[in-house]
Every structure is written in structure tokens, then in C-alpha cells.
Amino acid sequence: MTQDTNLYRLFAERFPADKAACAIETLEGHYYSWDDIEHASARMANLLASLDLTPGARVAVQVEKSPEALLLYLATLRAGFVYLPLNTAYREGEIAYFVENAAPDVVVCSPANFGWVSKIAFTNGAKHVYTLGDDRTGSLLERAAWFDDTFETVPRAPDDLAAILYTSGTTGRSKGAMLSHGNLASNARVLHEFWGWGEREGGDVLLHALPIFHVHGLFVASHAALYSGSKMIWMAKFDARDVLHQLPRATVFMGVPTYYVRLLAEPGLEREVCRNMRLFISGSAPLLSETFEAFRERTGHTILERYGMSETVMLISNPYHGDAASMRRAGTVGVPLPEVTVRVVDDDAQPSRPGEIGHIQVKGPNVFAGYWRMPEKTAEEFTDDGFFKTGDVGKFDEHGYVHIVGRSKDLIISGGYNVYPKEIEGFIDEMDGVAESAVIGVPHPDFGEAVVAVIVPRAGAQAPDERTVIDALKQRIANFKVPKRVHLVAELPRNTMGKVQKNLLRERFK
Ligand code: MLC
Ligand code: AMP
């Protein structure tokens, strides 16, 4: 091994000198010091190390948000295994796919789900299934309590895998984006500098309201705090009133645009509650200019919008340093981060000029190692000269800022969660009385985009009504993917190539 870049070691070396200081504080009044993080993650790492797993073994985790869930992530890094977080909204069919595809040796689930999750896990070759509740309960903690609270973090090379995040492409099922210790470390370091962590006298306090099974909450938010030795105020889930309550004690907040829309709906959002705030960051979905402006008006703070994805972590960001009001621009995601190369190309792969819209491509130490056990898919998504095709469409403006104007991938982003129409259409098309369907995203005041299904009934059959379709889908897929509305039409509009013209449907049903 040339260099030890275990991500946990990188964090631990930067923990504050006073290890008894508070690292995580929950709204329920539980406190975790930096020592607690070190020792509790050591116990879990010792447990994982005792299981005789092969290097690179996957640890799949579907649990409610809790400090212990974060400690399990850190323990997995420490023990040199690969962390696979799963959205708590996923249902049996979805979990079965991920477990079959990723073949984890260890699965950790909520106590309430042990019955069905363990069945899926053991059927697919997992050797160990533990439970972890959001109230410090479960077999994982019971077992870990038997182990020593010190652990020699396993050395990892930059290319060794740290995590797999499932994400979908335009076709087929989800793909596991493989992120290495090097990918995550470089992004943590770059964002630390770029967003001015550690520059404020007295340090930062991150108000952490995001879920921790995706890039935003797990990597961007938690890593920023761990890398800078900053305290986190830990919310089990986003709630606008709770956020307002905690804001006066915080200096940094991160959220998807829906969080800002909901905060603006609270009369209590005003300058006074933001008096200690240094930075508000938005990402994962487009932030409307009106939200950006309204937030500035009410709080005096200019939201910093940034752009990222599972395969690349963060790649573009509005500036932190300099005059916020003029440097952070509504409707743009900012400039490429240091060490990250971004280009916009036309359909013939020729570089677009400023102002010209094209495909956004990226290269850099942040870009993932490929899709888990899918070399062909990986090859399809990279250019010959090594750039990753983001599937997002945009342009550089004359100031070098990137504007995202659309997506070449058929994707809906609802409240910051990705929904792939093809997956939902597959389930609807299997239903009785359905000839075919199209799933689209329409503007939604709260979620940004809302999922809507347009169904062509089968000739001569009884068409399913909206309630039946929604109820049937709720049994099978995560709630956030379930259409909010269902419309019946005689036929779907198609172009001369036979392709469904979703733009026309979006226009008609918006
Ligand atoms: C919940 N529901 C959603 C939804 N979240 N529907 C559509 N889209 C969503 N995002 C469902 C609920 O199950 C419920 O269904 C109904 O909508 C109303 O629920 P709610 O109480 O309003 O929802 P809530 O629990 O408050 O959740 C909303 C939310 C949450 C916005 C707080 O979705 C959230 O935290 N989103 C953040 C997602 C995120 O972290 N994304 C980062 C991805 S990383 P019913 O049927 O029961 O009424 C990434 C890369 C990058 O993209 O760049 O960062
Ligand atoms: P995911 O696959 O969940 O990582 O989602 C990544 C996608 O979210 C990107 O490809 C973009 O389409 C979208 N995204 C992330 N941040 C932004 C942003 N600030 N503005 C617009 N889209 C964004």
C-alpha cells in the first residue's frame, strides 16, 4: 500500500484537541463527545472485524436516522468494509433487488423490519443480520457492547471502496455507484476549503436535518462537520419549526430546495433567528430564483447553491468567499470546484461555447470508480477521454458559472429524491386494465416536481381508477415514487419515431 487514506483516519486526525467536547447533540438531549465517536465506532468496528469477512465485503444498512447509524458508517470505514446505505422508504421488492445485486455479507435493519429483511438477506447469502433502532436499541449495539472500545483503523489505499450508492440511469434497474476512500476524501477536503469551514472564530455548528442514506446528508453534510471537527445538532428528520428553533445555535445549514420552501412558509423565519448563521447551502434539485430571492429578503442571507450527484459527489458550487450577494447567483449552480474539470459538449461531443446549451461532463478525483459489477454500463457513461457523462444538460455563462437547464436522462426529482419514470411505468403497465403508461414530473410548490402518471386503458377492459393505482403502487414501491395524481387518456402523444412526447404531457398536466 502506497498511502493510507482511510477516510475515518483523515477525520480522526482532525478531531478537536478537546475530545470531551460535544460532537453531536440530538433534539432529545443526547450528547456524543469526540471520544464517544471514537470509542463507539471502535466497538462496532471490532464487531465487524470479528465476523471473518473478506476485504471489500458490503455492509448494507436500512435504518432510521440516528447518531448510531452514523457511527455504523464510520465503523464500516474503520474496519475497511464497504458501506451501502438504503433509503428507509424502500419496500420489499426494492430491498430484494439491492441485496441480490450488492450481495452484502452484513445487513442492518430497523427492529420492526427484521422479519422480512432477514429473509431477503439470508436468501441472498448474507451471513449476518443485525437490528438498529433510532432509540439506541437493537442487536447491533447489544453485540457491539461486548467488544473493546479501541480499534486500529485498517489502512486503505485511495482506490479502495468506501461506499456503494444505488442510483438509476435512463434504462434498467438501479446501478451501484462505487465511491472510493480517495473520492470521498478529496471532496471533503475541497469543500472544507471552498466553503470556509474552520475559518470562523469559535468554530462552526452544523444543523443536520437531512437523511443520511444519500450523498447530501451522509457525505456532504456529515463529512463537512467531521473533517472540520465541528459540532452537529442532529435532527432525526427535517421539520421546519424544529429548524427555526435550532437556527440561533447553528452556523451552517444544508437542505434540498423543499426545506427552504417550507422554512419560508413559517412566519418565524426572520433575520433574528439567523443571527449566528454563516452559511445556508442548497442542492440535490434546482432552487427556484423566487425561493432564493425570498430567502434573502426575509433573512438577509444569500443561499449558496451547489450541484452534485451520487457518481461524482460535489462538482460545481457557487462561491463562498467574496461578496455573497454578488458572487452567489440565482439560477446557477456556480463554478467547477478546485481539482474538478467540467465541460459542456454538443451532441457531436464538440465543446460548446459560453451560452450554448450542451451535455455536462466531469473529470476529477471526485468521480466514482464505476458501477458495481456493471462494466458495460460504466463504459457507456464515460467518454473515451475519461469524462463522466452526468446526464444533465446546461451551459456556461460569460462569467464561467454553470446553469443547469434540463436533463437528458428521464428523471424526476421530487423533494430531493430521484424517481425514474421507467421503473414506475413498469409497475403500472403490469396492472389489470392498463395498455400503457407514461410517468412525468410536473411543477409542484412544495416538492419542486411531483410524480404524475398518465395511463392508457386497455381496450374493452375496466380502467383502474386513481385510488386503485396509487394504493397498488404504495404496496410495492417507496412512497415518494408513488404518483400524486393519475390521469387516463385515450392515447399517448408520440413523435414520428414512435417515442412518447413527455414534454407535451408535462404541458397538458402541469
Ligand atoms: C415524502 N413524501 C414525498 C417525499 N417525501 N413525496 C414526494 N417526494 C418526496 N421527497 C411523501 C410522504 O411519504 C407522504 O406520503 C407525503 O409525501 C407527504 O409527506 P410529508 O410529511 O410532507 O413528507 P416529509 O416526511 O416531510 O418529507 C419531505 C422531505 C423529505 C422533503 C422532508 O422528502 C426529505 O427529507 N427530502 C430530502 C431528500 C434528500 O436528502 N435528497 C438528497 C439526495 S443526494 P403519504 O402517501 O403518506 O401522504 C443527491 C445528490 C446531491 O441528490 O446533489 O445532493
Ligand atoms: P442523485 O442521482 O440522487 O445523486 O442525483 C443527482 C442529480 O440531482 C443530478 O444529476 C442533477 O440532475 C440533480 N441535482 C443535484 N443538485 C442540483 C442542483 N443544484 N440543481 C439542479 N439539479 C441538481
What's the pLDDT score for residue 3? 76
The whole-angstrom separation of Cα 230 and Cα 156 is 24
What's the pLDDT score for residue 1? 55
* DSSP summary character for residue 191: H
* 412-509 shares the fold of 7-305: no
**Domain range annotation of the chain:** 7-305, 412-509
Q: What's the whole-model pTM score? A: 0.97
Helix segments in 309-454, DSSP class H? 324-327, 375-381, 421-429
What is the per-residue DSSP string for 289-341?
HHHHHHHHHHHS---EEEEEETTTEEEEE--SSS-HHHHS-TT--BEEPTT-E
Region label for 237, one of left (φ > 0), alpha (ψ between -120 and 50) or beta (otherwise): beta
**From the CA of 238, which ligand is nearest?**
1
Residues of the chain with pLDDT under 70: 1-2, 169-172
What's the pLDDT score for residue 318? 98
Instruction: Give me the architecture of the 412-509 domain, per CATH.
Output: 2-Layer Sandwich (3.30)
What's the pLDDT score for residue 47? 98
Cα–Cα–Cα angle for 393, 397, 402, rounded to 5 degrees: 45
C-alpha cell, 187: 471532496
Average model confidence (pLDDT) for the chain?
A: 96
What's the pLDDT score for residue 172? 62
pLDDT 10s digits, 181-207? 999 999 999 999 999 999 999 999 999
CB of 44 within 8 A of CB of 77? no
The whole-angstrom separation of Cα 456 and Cα 436 is 5
What's the pLDDT score for residue 299? 98
The whole-angstrom separation of Cα 127 and Cα 114 is 14
The whole-angstrom separation of Cα 314 and Cα 284 is 10
Q: Ligand 1 pocket test: which of 360, 417, 442 has the largest number of ligand atoms within 8 Å of its C-beta?
A: 417
Query: In 10 A of CB 173, how many CB atoms?
Result: 16
CB of 435 within 8 A of CB of 458? yes
- Atom nearest to 314 CA in ligand 1: 53
The whole-angstrom separation of Cα 456 and Cα 437 is 6
Beta-strand runs (E) in 445-484: 448-457
The whole-angstrom separation of Cα 100 and Cα 124 is 6
Residues near ligand 1 with C-beta < 6 Å?
210-211, 214-217, 238, 256, 258, 283-284, 308-309, 414-417, 447, 479-480
Cα–Cα–Cα angle for 481, 484, 487, rounded to 5 degrees: 115
Instruction: Give me the architecture of the 7-305 domain, per CATH.
Output: 3-Layer(aba) Sandwich (3.40)
Q: How far is the CA of 238 from the centre of ligand 1 (A)?
A: 9
Q: How far is the CA of 35 from the centre of ligand 2 (A)?
A: 35
The whole-angstrom separation of Cα 206 and Cα 413 is 25
